[in-house]
Chain A
Amino acid sequence: MANLTERPRHTCALGGAIATASALPGTIPVLHAPPGCASNTTWTQAGGCGLQLGGYCGGLSMPGTNMQEREVVFGGSERLQELIKNAQTVMEGDLYFVLTSCVAEVIGDDIGAIVKPFQDEGIPVIYAETGGFKGNSYTGYDLTLQSLWENFIPAAAERVPEKVNLWGIPPFFDAFWRGNLEGLRQLLRRLGLTVNTFFTAEDTLAGIREAGSASLNILVSDGYGTGAAELSRQKHGIPYVVSPLPIGPAASDEFLRSVGAALGLDRQRVETVIGEENRRYYRYLDTFVDCYNDMDLQRYAAVAGDANYAPAVTRFLADDLGWLPEVVAVSDVLTEEQERAIRQRLEKLSSGLRPKVYFTPDTSEIRRCVKEHWTTEAGAKYANKLTPAFVVGSSLERELAKDLQAGHLSVSFPVSNRAILDRGYTGYRGGLRLIEDLIGVIAVNR
């Protein structure tokens, strides 16, 4: 691990867990933490999650032990126990989800022993150990899902053949979480599947509790939620398939085929859906053809984003839109295996393009790498410069975009300069949304 991380594009495991638990239907996150963990997460969401924060019980509404020196010295068990007990008379919740902090874990409070008497009384309380130092927000997402599989979702007696669970899109820290989940659910429904997505307006705790009867877990991420998929495979016997985040037709074709293969669906059925979706997608583009060509809307591109977005956007730009992604910066700190998986995906782009790939979370390093690649001899009369250019990244890439005199769109955390509600970039329709947003930037002064 590096000694320092610059402007981290994450918060901690607890922050990720808070965002995840507060996105579950009817759930009250209960923080066993010092006072600031709630606000730190809230402000982080306000700053980087497409102007989305809170929900049913998020923000500063979450019960918390507000641990002080007394708890550090004498332990915080009593305080947590009192909090859970009194929460029953104040908070209306279908599930109380206790989440621990750095402080709680260092002092070693036994959360299992604290929640057990409540569970014995039939009060729906579960917990996850999400001390901030355990990892970043995406780790917290995984740990929260793991706790659901471990403590909330019973193993089912029977599998429902065409029922699947879908995850890999972390609430809030993927600012497009709801739209992305809905986009893929809509697509999978076209295959005739029943889909549990945990976090959308359609999902319910009752439905989530029955997730154990699914025949397949679909993980649309090379990095986020893998632990939960592995746990569910071992404990519930549900196999899983990993796909990159599918944005646009090329990735969505592959996504549908891989799900079809994993479930043993009739190939013709899958190909029919793929055909219909492509026809629909290109029918929309039909009316854009003239302007796209006349306005010369092809761009060189630099892409910076997390392990989901960086490869997914790059593939869309290269293989669907016909742009030229030159440099890709993946801003997560990943294992060698995860890095290799992402590299491999970017080495087999059907367009034949081979962008330079960097792995660094540091904004100034991303800026340096991209600028270095972009630099051509200044002042030459004939210079084959990488213009016109576009930067797809986080809000922190605005300074880079200024350097390159390029258009800029924020898609990966932090997304501080866009309001995101139900927008999503997944599937075929998501590709259309992304085109609208990219071209909207270019055409803004038209």
Chain B
Amino acid sequence: MGYFDQKEPPRREHRLQACIADGGTFSEVANRRMRCCLPDGERTFAQGNICLLLPALGIMNTIPDSVVLMHSAIGCGSSAHAGNAGVRAGNNARWGVLKDGTWLSTALTESDVICGGEGKLSAAIIEADKRFQPAVIFVVAGCVPGIIGDDIDGVSEGVQSQVAARILPVHCEGFKTKIWATSYDAVYHAIGRTLLKDAAPRAAKSSNARPVVNLFNVSSMGRPDEVELKRLLELLGLEVNIFPVFAEPAKMAQITQADLSVSTCPTHDDYLLRYLQETCGVPYILKHMPIGIANTGLWLRDVAAFFGLQEKAAAIIAREETELAAALAELTPAFAGKKVFLSAGEFRALATALLMGELGFEISGIRAFHHDEFAAPEYQKLDQAKSKDFPLNIANCQVFEEANLLKRTQPDVFLGHMNGNGTAAKLGITTSVIYNVGLQYVGYKGAYELARRLYRQLRNPGFNRNISKWTVLPYKQQWYGQYPFSHIKAAGGEVDG
């Protein structure tokens, strides 16, 4: 049986041996092929972080004509109040309408925990269908049903015939995986098992039709980034079908008819891309992330090569790079010799580090949320590009390790994820958010816009400098003197000091 025949997707610890705890110098960690955490306990001290529900909601809340029904206590999914800003902006950017997402909760109570919540869930599905008349209802399990044994697949199957909407059960029990990137698999799994299942076989195309590529965006890119990649692919003469964010459910099955699937981040998409190839015969490219000047070229070249358009790509890339270099000329002198520290999802952190190198920054440290096999080529690129060694930390957030590293490395600029810039800011470091769907990062335009933001942010770093004089971080002085990775239990027990 394939993965998609199971109710739940496998967790990435098992499928990809992904891990979340390691630390050392870049060369050392990269060269020992990243064998890192013990399977059971990864740190002797840890801070709270993220579970797979958060990024999964980031996709689901964008789907037009859908509702997200959380089956859990009332808090699970309240992060949608933050995600809603992106949904509103995304709707506005695509259709000119400011529209809120719709998320619902069965709000399980103590008595539901004791008596079971399946009855409540089936009634809630029926009510959601009646009240909102959506095309799709995502039925999402949080931790509680996972423990008390509520079967969201069974309930969904049981009421499917009574509702007009298609029900998509999605497994987001936070205690089941440490690797929150499993969330992408969870959503893709649900879509694959329902909306893609009955897709017609791939039809033969007339020879003069434009080739169609699926471009994947799990909400790590905002509309301006989509527009940039679409622009580049269209210059090659390709037609672009963006999936899954903001994709209408009725049109989702179109991805089974494409000529090629292209990922923008291997961490996100391998699970669905393999499925599309195996079941629908859609080949895929899953290699580079189009963040950074060289990376964007590599990404575009791979796509072009698939269609035999290498020469066209070479011409586009040459023109774009010349134009970009001219535009960057007035900005890059401000970056020369400045040290930068980056923290984000593994692939994004590495790709952005390459871009920072291209802009003239020196890398003083990198933190990646997790590690898996996909990033190996990025490590190689960075290994060749770097001028000196620097600390590398694999950490599912774990801000205490970051605070320690920042005190040691004293970077001029910190690039951190959403809700991950506060520590650097309170240390007085200039920050630039490495991921925010309102901003542009991807392709040539993204490289320019990131440079433009950094130029502005470095011109007056007053806000963070002032804050740093009057706020303190919640760590003991003695912690800053300790080895930053001393709480990591590494495979084999060794952490080089």
Show the binding face of A for B, using Cβ within 8 Å.
Answer: 1-8, 10-15, 28, 31, 33-44, 46-48, 53-54, 56-57, 59-72, 79, 82-83, 86-87, 89-93, 101-103, 106-107, 131-137, 363-364, 396, 398-399, 414, 416
Do residues A56 and B84 form an inter-chain contact, with CB atoms below 8 A? no
Do residues B474 and A3 form an inter-chain contact, with CB atoms below 8 A? no
B322 CB within 8 Å of chain A = no
Of all chain A residues, which has the CB nearest B396? A35
B147 CB within 8 Å of chain A = yes
Residues A14 and B474 in contact in the complex (CB < 8 Å), given A39-B48, A60-B48: no
Of all chain A residues, which has the CB nearest B422? A54
**How distant is the Cα of A13 from the Cα of B80 in the complex, in angstroms?**
17
Do residues A132 and B422 form an inter-chain contact, with CB atoms below 8 A? no
Do residues B147 and A64 form an inter-chain contact, with CB atoms below 8 A? no
In this complex, the interface size class of chain B, counting residues with CB under 8 Å from chain A, is 35 or more
Q: A60-B419, A92-B476 are in contact. List 6 more A-B contacts (CB 8 A).
A: A61-B423, A90-B487, A106-B144, A106-B147, A133-B144, A414-B81
Cβ contacts under 8 Å, B59 to chain A: none
**How distant is the Cα of A291 from the Cα of B399 in the complex, in angstroms?**
52
- Among the listed B79, B102, B120, which residue makes an inter-chain contact with A3, where contact means beta carbons less than 8 Å apart? B120
- Among the listed A6, A44, A68, which residue makes an inter-chain contact with B104, where contact means beta carbons less than 8 Å apart? A6
**How distant is the Cα of A10 from the Cα of B80 in the complex, in angstroms?**
11
* A63 CB, min distance to chain B CBs, angstroms: 6
Do residues A90 and B45 form an inter-chain contact, with CB atoms below 8 A? yes
- Among the listed A64, A91, A133, which residue makes an inter-chain contact with B474, where contact means beta carbons less than 8 Å apart? A91
* A103 CB, min distance to chain B CBs, angstroms: 5
Do residues A36 and B52 form an inter-chain contact, with CB atoms below 8 A? yes
Count how many pairs of residues, one from A and one from B, have CB atoms less than 8 Å apart in the complex. Answer: 257
Do residues B107 and A36 form an inter-chain contact, with CB atoms below 8 A? no
Cβ contacts under 8 Å, B487 to chain A: 86, 90
**How distant is the Cα of A135 from the Cα of B107 in the complex, in angstroms?**
9
* A201 CB, min distance to chain B CBs, angstroms: 11
Do residues B73 and A3 form an inter-chain contact, with CB atoms below 8 A? no
Do residues A134 and B110 form an inter-chain contact, with CB atoms below 8 A? yes
- Among the listed A35, A46, A135, which residue makes an inter-chain contact with B50, where contact means beta carbons less than 8 Å apart? A35
Do residues A416 and B175 form an inter-chain contact, with CB atoms below 8 A? no
Cβ contacts under 8 Å, B477 to chain A: 92
**How distant is the Cα of A53 from the Cα of B420 in the complex, in angstroms?**
12
* A46 CB, min distance to chain B CBs, angstroms: 5
Cβ contacts under 8 Å, A36 to chain B: 49-54, 76, 174, 180
Do residues A5 and B75 form an inter-chain contact, with CB atoms below 8 A? no
Residues A14 and B82 in contact in the complex (CB < 8 Å), given A35-B174, A56-B474, A106-B113: no
Do residues B109 and A38 form an inter-chain contact, with CB atoms below 8 A? no
Do residues B399 and A10 form an inter-chain contact, with CB atoms below 8 A? no
- Interface pick from B122-130, B197-205, B280-288: B122-130
**How distant is the Cα of A250 from the Cα of B350 in the complex, in angstroms?**
60
Do residues B479 and A133 form an inter-chain contact, with CB atoms below 8 A? no
Residues A60 and B49 in contact in the complex (CB < 8 Å), given A46-B419, A133-B144: yes
Do residues A11 and B75 form an inter-chain contact, with CB atoms below 8 A? yes
**How distant is the Cα of A2 from the Cα of B45 in the complex, in angstroms?**
40
Cβ contacts under 8 Å, B1 to chain A: none
**How distant is the Cα of A446 from the Cα of B74 in the complex, in angstroms?**
42
Cβ contacts under 8 Å, B34 to chain A: none
